[in-house]
Chains A and B, each alone.
Chain A
Amino acid sequence: MTEASTSTRHEGHARHDRHAIALMGNPNTGKSSLFNALTGARQKIANFPGVTVEAKIGTTRFENSEFTIIDLPGTYSLAARSPDERVATDALLGRIEGTPKPDGVVIVLDASSLDRNLYIGTQVLEFGLPAVVALTMLDVAESRGIKIDTEKLSKTLGVPVVVVNAPKGKGIDELKGTLHRALHHPGKKLELSYPDDFKRGVDTLHAELLDLGVKLGFTPTRPEALRLLVDGAGPFFDECEEVGGEEWTRKFFEIRERAAAGRSLSMLEAQTRYGAIGQWMREVKQAEAREGRTRTDVVDGILTHKLWGSLVFIVVMGLIFQSIYSWSGPLMDTIDGGFGALGDWVGGMMGEGALKSLVVDGVIAGVGGVLIFLPQILILFLFIAILEDLGYMSRAAFLMDRLMSRFGLSGKAFIPLLSSFACNIPGIMGARVIEDRNTRLTTIFLAPFMSCSARLPVYTLFIAAFVPQIKLLGFLELQGLVLFAMYWVGVLFAIPTALVLKKGILKSKVTPFLLELPSYKMPRPKAVGRVLWERGGSFVRRAGTIILAVSVLVWAAGYFPRGAEIDDKHDAAIAAAEGAYSEAVVSFDPEADIESALAQFKAIDDAHEERTAGLEGEEPEVEAATAESDKQREAEIAELAAKHPAAFTDYENWLKLEEQRSEIENRRAGEHLENSILGRMGHVIEPAVEPLGWDWRIGMAAIASFPAREVIVATLGTIFNLGSEEDEESQTLREVVQNATRPDGSKLFSLATGLSIMVFFALCAQCAATLAVMRRETNSWKWPLASFAYMTGLAYVAALVTFQVAHALGG
C-alpha cells in the first residue's frame, strides 16, 4: 500500500467516518481490558500473558465517528513465531479474513516495563499508520518508583500518549478523542537509523517488491520489506516466492546476504531498536534506585523455588479441593431437596402415565441431577478466577518449566494445560502461544487429560456415595483427598503419553522458555463475580439445553415400547396379593372395630416417619435420634397390639401387602426398562462393561455421555428412576446410586464400581466440543480421531484394572 492509496482509503472512510483500529502491544499489557472498556464487550481478561489468542472485533463511537476496535493477541515482536503472534501481525496488515484492515493503531505500552514494550512499539510506528500510545499500568510503575514523562515520550515517538487505566475506567474518553484527532491529522512516521548496508538492503528489496506488486495484487510498503528482509520466511515470503518464482528467491537471498554483511539481520534490527529505546529512556524515564529486593522479589523467590514453590502449589491445590467439598455440601443439599420437592409436587399434580414419567423421571431427575452440582462448579471457578487475577499462574508455569522439560514440554505448555482444568477447550486454544508445531500438537493432545469442570459432578457424586466421611489427621477430609487424587489420574496418564509422543512422532527440541512474571494484582471482585456469573450461567444453560435434550431422549428410549403383557402380568400379581389380603381381613372378629384400630397402627408409623423426616446423613446424632424414634414406635405398637390382637395381625398383613405391592411395582418398572429400546441395546453392550463392574444401565449412561460428560449424572438419574417405582418420598441422586440393586437384589454399586466409573470419566474423551475444537486447531481429523481412540481405550483398560484391583481388595 502506497502513501497515496492510504490517503484515498482514509478519505473514503472519512465520508462514512468509520475507522478500524487495532490494539497492538506485548502480552498482558491490558489490551483486552482496554478493548472491553472501549466497546463494552466481555473479552476474557486475566493476569498472565497469552490470554487472547484470536482477533476479536467490537465497536465504539466518538462524536460522529464509529471505531471498529480489533483486540489482538499480545506479541513481543512483529517477527511472528507462534500462531497467536501471527494473528497480530497479519491483522496489522489486514490479512485476516473477516477482520478489517486497520486505519489506525493503539499501541498499548506497559509503563512498568516500557523499554521492552517499546520494541514492538517501534516496529508498529514504522508502519506509519495513524497511532496513539495508550500507556497502561502507570499505577504499577509508580509503586515501583518509576516515573514516566509522558509529554517527552509523546514528542520522541511523534505520536500522542494517553495514560489509561481500563480496569478503573480512566482515560478511555480521552483516548477516543485523541484517536479521533490522530486519524484526521496523522503524525510523522518513525525513522530509526539502521546501518547503511541494512538500509540499502531494505530499499533494494522494497523496489523489487514494488516490481512484483502487480502480480501480488497489492503494493507492499517499506516496513513490510524490512520485515521480509529480516525474517526471511512466513506467509508473505511464500507469496512472493510463488509469484516471483526461483529467480525472485535467488535475488532475495542475494539482497539479504549483502544487507547482513556477515552479521545477523535480526541482531542488527534488535541493536538498532534497543539503541534508540535506550537513548529515549534516559530522557523519559526516571527510576528511583531501590535498595535490596522488593517484596515481589521475595514472594517470587518462594513461589518459584524448587521445594517451597512446589509445596505451596500442592497446598494451594489441596486447599481448593478441600473447600469444594466442605463448602458445597449444604448448598447442594438445598438444591437437591428443592428438586426432590418439585418432583413430588409435579408428580402429585399429574395423573399416572407416560407424560408424568417424562416430566418426573426424564426432565426433573435428569436436569435436576446435574444442577445440584452448580455450587461446586462455582467454587472451583472462584478459585481459578482468583488465581488467574492474582498473577499466580505464571509463577506456577515457571515452577513447572523444569519439570515439564523432562517430559519434553516447555513451561509454555503449562498454562494451556492448567486452564484445561476449567475446560479443555480454552486449553487447546491456548496452545496457540506455543511456537513449535510439535510441542503445540503434544499440548493439544494432552489437554483433554486434565480434569475439566464437567468431570467434577461425576467425581463428587460417587465420592459422596461411596467414600466414607472421615477426617485424616484431624483436618483432612478423606473425600476431598480422593477428589484431589482423581485430578491426578489424568496427569499421571498424560506424562507417559507426552514422553511417547515427544520421543516418537512429535520429536522436537525443547526451546528455552522466556516467561515474564506479571506483577501481582489484587483480584477485582467485579471481575471474579463476572467469571462466576458467566461460568455458572453456561453450566445452567447446558443443563437446560443439551442435557435436557439427552435426558428426554434417554427417557424415551427407556420408556418405550411399553409391553402390555408385562403390565398384565404384574396387574394380575397385585390383584392376587390384594385378594389374599382381603380374605384374611374378613376372617377376623367382625365385632372389633378393626378399621379404626388399623388406622391407629398406621398413625403410629406416620408419626415415626414425621419425626425422622428431616434426619439424614451418617452423623452419630442423626443415627441416635432415628434409633430413639424407632424405639418409641415399637413400644407404641406393642401397647396397641396387646389391646387389639386381631387388628395387629391384620396390620401385619397389611404391611406385607404394601411390601408385596411395591416389590411388584419395582419388578414391573424394571421389566419395562429391560424391555425398552435402551434395555435391549444395553444387553448388547453389557458383556463389554461387565468386567468394569458395571451393569448395562451404567454402560448405557456412560455411552449417552459421549457428547458431554456431565450428562451421565442426568442419565443415571433418569434410568434409575425409570427402573424403580418410588411411591414414597423421592430419593436424592446419591441415595438412588447407593440403593440401586441388580435383578438378584444385590447392591449394584460399591466403592470399586464407583472408582472404576470415576477413572473411566477421568480419562475418556467424552466431549464432542473438545474433539471439534481439536479438529479446528490442528486442521485435520487425524488428531481428534487419534485422541478419541487412544483416550477411550485407555479409559476402558484403566477402569477395568481399577475395578478388578479394588474388588479384589474388598472394595
Chain B
Amino acid sequence: MLEAVTIIAIVTAAAAFAAWRVWQTLRVARGQADCNACGACKPEHK
C-alpha cells in the first residue's frame, strides 16, 4: 500500500514537472523567459 502511494506520488510529480516544462517552453517561445537549456545565456546574477 505504502509502495503504491509512493509510486503514484513520484509518477505524478514527474508528470507535473513535465507539464510545467511544456508551459515554460511556451513562455520561451513567447519571449517571456530564457530557455536555460545550455547555460550559454546566463541570468543576470550569480
A interface, CB within 8 angstroms of B? 39-44, 54, 56-58, 353-355, 358, 422-423, 425-426, 429, 453, 534-535, 537-538, 542, 545-546, 548-550, 552-553, 556, 707-708, 767-773, 775-776, 784
Contacts and interface: CB of A to CB of B under 8 A. Distances in A.
A58 B44 contact: yes
Contact of A545 (B17, B31, B41): B17
A44 B3 contact: no
Q: Which of A429, A542, A550, A773 has the most CB of B within 10 A?
A: A773
6 nearest CB pairs, A to B: A423-B38, A538-B39, A552-B14, A772-B29, A775-B29, A772-B28
Chain A contact residues: helix, strand, loop or mixed: helix
B36 A553 contact: no
B45 to A, nearest CB: 6
A552 B11 contact: yes
Contacts of B17: 545-546, 549
Contacts of B39: 534-535, 537-538
Contacts of A546: 17-18, 21
Contacts of A534: 39, 42
Contact of B42 (A41, A354, A358, A769): A41
B25 A768 contact: yes
Contacts of B29: 771-773, 775-776, 784
Contact of A355 (B7, B22, B37, B42): B7
A441 B17 CA distance: 33
Interface of B: 3-4, 6-7, 10-11, 14-15, 17-18, 21-22, 25-26, 28-31, 35-42, 44-46
A771 B28 CA distance: 10
Contacts of B6: 355
B18 A553 contact: yes
A42 B42 contact: yes
Nearest to A545: B17
A772 B32 CA distance: 11
Nearest to A358: B7
Contact of B40 (A57, A425, A708): A425
Given A545-B17, A773-B29, A773-B35, 8 more contacts: A57-B44, A354-B7, A358-B10, A422-B38, A425-B37, A426-B38, A538-B37, A769-B37
B21 A707 contact: yes
B14 A538 contact: no
18 contacts: A39-B45, A43-B42, A57-B44, A355-B6, A355-B7, A423-B37, A425-B37, A549-B17, A550-B14, A707-B21, A767-B37, A768-B22, A768-B25, A772-B25, A773-B29, A775-B30, A776-B28, A776-B30
B41 A429 contact: yes
B41 A44 contact: yes
Contacts of B36: 538
A553 B19 CA distance: 12
Q: Which of A429, A538, A548 has the most CB of B within 10 A?
A: A538
A41 B26 contact: no
Contacts of B18: 546, 549-550, 553, 707
B36 to A, nearest CB: 7
A392 to B, nearest CB: 18
Contact of B11 (A56, A553, A767, A768): A553
Nearest to A535: B39
Q: Which of A57, A426, A548 has the most CB of B within 10 A?
A: A426
A204 to B, nearest CB: 39
B3 A54 contact: no
A548 B11 CA distance: 11
A769 B14 contact: no
A771 B26 CA distance: 10
A556 to B, nearest CB: 5
Given A41-B46, A549-B21, A773 B28 contact: yes
Contacts of A39: 44-45
A769 B10 contact: no
A548 B40 contact: no
Contacts of A58: 44-45
A553 B12 CA distance: 9
B42 A44 contact: yes
Contact of A553 (B14, B31, B42, B46): B14
Contact of B35 (A43, A545, A769): A769
Nearest to A554: B14
B35 A425 contact: yes
Contact of B10 (A44, A353, A552): A552
A44 B14 contact: no
B46 A42 contact: yes
Contacts of A768: 21-22, 25
A355 B11 CA distance: 11
A437 B4 CA distance: 56
Contacts of A41: 42, 44-46
Contacts of A358: 7, 10
Nearest to A770: B37
B40 A44 contact: yes
Contacts of B38: 422-423, 425-426, 453, 535, 538
B40 to A, nearest CB: 4
A358 B6 CA distance: 10
Contact of B3 (A355, A425, A767): A355
Contacts of A54: 41
A639 to B, nearest CB: 48
Nearest to B20: A549
A571 to B, nearest CB: 20
Given A707-B21, A769-B28, A549 B14 contact: yes
A361 B5 CA distance: 19
Contacts of B46: 40-42
Contacts of B42: 41-44, 534
Nearest to A784: B29
A56 B10 CA distance: 38
A56 B44 contact: yes
Contacts of B7: 354-355, 358, 556
A58 B46 CA distance: 10
Nearest to A426: B40
A354 B3 contact: yes
B8 to A, nearest CB: 10
B35 to A, nearest CB: 4
